[in-house]
Chain A
Amino acid sequence: SQKIEQNSEALNIQEGKTATLTCNYTNYSPAYLQWYRQDPGRGPVFLLLIRENEKEKRKERLKVTFDTTLKQSLFHITASQPADSATYLCALFSGYALNFGKGTSLLVTP
């Protein structure tokens, strides 16, 4: 069956450091991979989309890598801030809809 796995353990880091979140998948052959942010009690908000032929994608302090050989994507937040504290979701297309991982909770402390 198709699976999208993200670290279920919460990630706690100090303000100013780089946060790195991991997304691994099985039984997908994605042409695209997406990352979303979800705050408590809210719907997800789109952050970045990366294509299979892109090794890396950047947007401001965010960077995403996509390795289709390893079946893995890494999501980096540089110079992290307390406002970055949220749950980050990895998403892949199943054929007609987006499927999501459980998400990784990030807590950035001052």
Chain B
Amino acid sequence: GAVVSQHPSWVICKSGTSVKIECRSLDFQATTMFWYRQFPKQSLMLMATSNEGSKATYEQGVEKDKFLINHASLTLSTLTVTSAHPEDSSFYICSAILRGLIANTEAFFGQGTRLTVV
């Protein structure tokens, strides 16, 4: 199956600093990628939809100036958490689809990034 690689798998940063998370589709081109956040024992919450070559679409309540998303190529999307605070500590997961509509096709997920802000 298709492979989505996410890096780093875990990161610890100080409050006020910024952290960049990369999501790569290794063997396919992903015109659309999705970024999720997951708190312990909670469901994956969609943060934003990342479209290659255009601005990301953010979900209601997600601060676009705090969570910067860039999808500069068909194989790479990045999420930058700016001015991180302890409440941003969470598990961040990216996802990509091969083609077409996500409803009738499986989504491929990265390994996730555990962010801890101290």
Contact = CB atoms under 8 A, between A and B. Distances in A.
Contacts of A102: 41-43
Contacts of A51: 104
A46 B101 CA distance: 16
B49 A96 contact: yes
Interface residues of B, number: 28
A41 B44 contact: no
Nearest to B97: A98
Interface string A69-107: 000000000000000000001010110111111110000
Nearest to B94: A43
Given A31-B103, A31-B104, A32-B103, A100 B43 contact: yes
Contacts of A100: 43-44
Nearest to B42: A102
A45 B109 contact: yes
Nearest to B6: A43
A18 interface: no
Contacts of B103: 30-32, 93
Interface in A18-56: 30-32, 34, 41-46, 49, 51
A89 B41 CA distance: 12
A51 B101 CA distance: 14
Interface of A: 4, 30-32, 34, 41-46, 49, 51, 89, 91, 93-94, 96-103
